[in-house]
Structures are given as C-alpha cells and as structure tokens.
Amino acid sequence: MSDLETEDFDLDFSPQLPDKARPPLWYYDADVAQSYKSIVDVALVAFEKKLAFTRGLKPGRTVKIKEWKLVAATLNKAAGLNEGHLRNKDRRDVLRTVEFIGSLNTRLEAAIKARSLSKARPLASERKAAYTALLEKYRKLEQMKLSEYAKAAFEQNMADRLASQNHSYVSLFQQNNRLLENNAKLDEHVERLQGKLVEAYEEISRLKDQLRTKSQMKVAE
C-alpha cells in the first residue's frame, strides 16, 4: 500500500501584481499639449488607487463598474479641464489619450476578473475532501494493479505447472515405453530359456532310456 500522507496543498490563486503603469511614449513628445499630459498624470494616479481598491476587496463583495473603471469625464475634471475635453476623437492627441485610458481600464478589468477567480478558491475542507477522493481512486487503482499482478502470477504459475506436468507425462511415457521394450526382451529371453529347459528335459529322458536299455541287455546275457 502507498505511504502517501494527507497534505494541505495551499495553491496561490491571488492575482499577480501587474507592472507599474507608466505614461505612453507619445507623452514625452514636445508637440503634445500639456492638457493631455495632465490627463495622463491624473489617470495614472487614479489607476493606482483603483488597482489598490480591487486588491482590497473582500470575498463576496459585489463591485459596480464605476467603482473600478476610469471615466474620461472624471479624469478631465480632476485635471482642471472641461468634462468634454476628450470628445473630439478626430484629433490625434484626443484619440491617443482615450486609447491610453482604455488600456488602463483593460488592466483594471483583468484585475477584477482575477479577483473573482480567487474567490472561487476551494476551502480547506473542500481541498481535503478532494484529496481524500483522489487518494481513494489511487488506492482502488493500486488494488486493481495488485489484482492484475496476482492474476498474471497465478496464470504464469499454472502455465509453469502445466508445462512441468507435461514434461513429467512425457518422461513417464518414455519410461513406460522403455519398460515395455525391456519386458518384451525379457519375455523373449524367458521363452528361449524355457525352450532350452524343454530340450534339457528331453535330453535327460533320452539318456535315461539309453541307460535302461543297456541295463536290460546285460540282464538278458
């Protein structure tokens, strides 16, 4: 049986900290109006605050979009500009500023989604139950493997025994054939001896008759 022990696997599901947001490259162009640079500065500060806000959310807390998303009108106002300063997107600087704010919002949205995933982190009891179920599956698999091994060993043992018995049967059959051949030879030998014995009896009987005849002839003289 396996020596596995129950462990509390504590995986980190928390969102990774993103790289610090920085001004876009065009920010440093000499021909960029200060108003757009001011909006970028305000947006970066607001981004860090929003990001810190998402990190501090408690599990189960419902967040509205306006709580984590950067709003252009709000950023314009914070920069001391008209709320509609970024409405004319035909202007290059306006378009680039709006795109920059959009990129920051994309990162904030990713942070919110990552936070939602972290809330789905299983409890310790759930992790333990999942581990117990996994361990049970492992033990069943181990038992199946042991059963298959035992079956294979039994079949191999039976095959070896059958092979050994077949070898023994062949040996006995060959030995029996040799005994039968020897017995046949012995029968032939006995038969020859019996023939010689008969011949010996006949010779003895013939000699007795000769002796009897000679004795009778002497008496008659």
Q: Which of 29, 40, 106 is nearest to 78 (CA)?
A: 40
Using the predicted structure, report yes or no on whether residue 76 has a pLDDT greater than 50: yes
8-state DSSP, 99: H
In tens, the pLDDT along 124-139 reads 676 677 778 877 876 7
Q: Which of 137, 151, 132, 66 is nearest to 105 (CA)?
A: 66
CA separation, residue 171 to residues 5, 75, 147 (Å): 55, 103, 35
User: How large a percentage of the chain has pLDDT more than 90?
Assistant: 28
Is 4 in contact with 137 (CB distance < 8 Å)? Answer: no
- pTM greater than the 0.85 cutoff: no
pLDDT of residue 92: 92
User: What does pLDDT average to over the chain?
Assistant: 78
pLDDT of residue 14: 45
Residue partners of 130: CB distance under 8 A and separation at least 6: 122
